[in-house]
A and B are shown apart, each in its own frame.
Chain A
């Protein structure tokens, strides 16, 4: 890695945790809604 590239890499803040938490929350929210839809459908099929 040349000197300029090394300087740029050092300047970029390490915010990987934020990205990881953000995407985890996003996909957990989506997954919970899909489960909610599945439960609703199961209840309806039982009522039939």
Chain B
């Protein structure tokens, strides 16, 4: 299978990168403005509830990364092309970043709102932890496995990681809402106030777009690494 040409340019120096970064930065600034100056404090939890906007956004960014990882993994197994392996690598790394942020911000929110940072009885928390461990395994495998074999192993593990996402999403349905602490805000018709809803979607969009920007940059860097390795051989 012929490999597409690998770009030999610094991704930080392209015009498209500059435009995308400015747009994402503006979107995030607007989201932060809404979170900190427009939405009022939630009555029962207070200011800590504002973590919710970027916590859920990070979860959506993790799912987006897992989707890119699935495309990269399936594509690599079918076509054996370097750029698809690089997409898988980039998505796994960014997925690990955002999944870590979901877990940490969730634990901080839980500690301050319910006095409980983590519980192994919560399906959403445990399934997210499993997803995080899969991302860790992917990054570790890429680092320590044999360079020739790593792409195929990572592709298989990447598919497993992507399969874990629906488990995380639907895990809250395993127990009744009363038996678990993790809130199911959107499905239960929460966020009735227009300002809460607008802020929620703007913040989600901002964090997901930042995640996709990171995947794009990391993908380009991974391609540059491949080219550099080929030139050094």
A residues with a Cβ closer than 8 A to B are 8, 11-19, 21-23, 25-26, 29-30, 33, 37, 40-41, 44-45, 47-48
Complex CA–CA separation, A8 to B43 (angstroms): 8
- Candidates B12, B48, B101; contact of A26 at CB < 8 Å: B101
Q: Is the interface of A mostly helix, strand, loop or mixed?
A: helix
Complex CA–CA separation, A44 to B13 (angstroms): 14
B101 touches A13 (CB 8 A): no
B48 touches A33 (CB 8 A): no
A33 touches B214 (CB 8 A): yes
B residues with a Cβ closer than 8 A to A are 10-12, 41, 43-51, 54-55, 58, 94, 97, 100-101, 104-105, 108-109, 111-113, 210, 214, 217-218, 221, 224-225, 228, 232
Which interface residue of A8, A17, A22, A23 has the most chain B CB atoms within 10 A?
A22
Instruction: Give the total number of A-B pairs whose CB atoms are below 8 A apart.
Output: 83
B43 touches A22 (CB 8 A): no
Q: Is the interface of B mostly helix, strand, loop or mixed?
A: helix
B41 touches A12 (CB 8 A): yes
| A44: B residues at CB distance < 8 A | 221, 224-225, 228
B221 touches A37 (CB 8 A): yes
The smallest C-beta distance from B153 to any residue of chain A, in angstroms, reads 22
The smallest C-beta distance from B9 to any residue of chain A, in angstroms, reads 11
The smallest C-beta distance from B80 to any residue of chain A, in angstroms, reads 24
Residue in B closest to A16 when the chains form the complex, CB atoms: B47
A18 touches B108 (CB 8 A): yes
Complex CA–CA separation, A23 to B44 (angstroms): 20
B48 touches A41 (CB 8 A): no
- Candidates A11, A12, A26, A37; contact of B54 at CB < 8 Å: A26
The smallest C-beta distance from B29 to any residue of chain A, in angstroms, reads 13
| A15: B residues at CB distance < 8 A | 45-49, 112-113
Complex CA–CA separation, A44 to B105 (angstroms): 33
- Candidates B45, B51, B111, B224; contact of A13 at CB < 8 Å: B45
| B41: A residues at CB distance < 8 A | 12
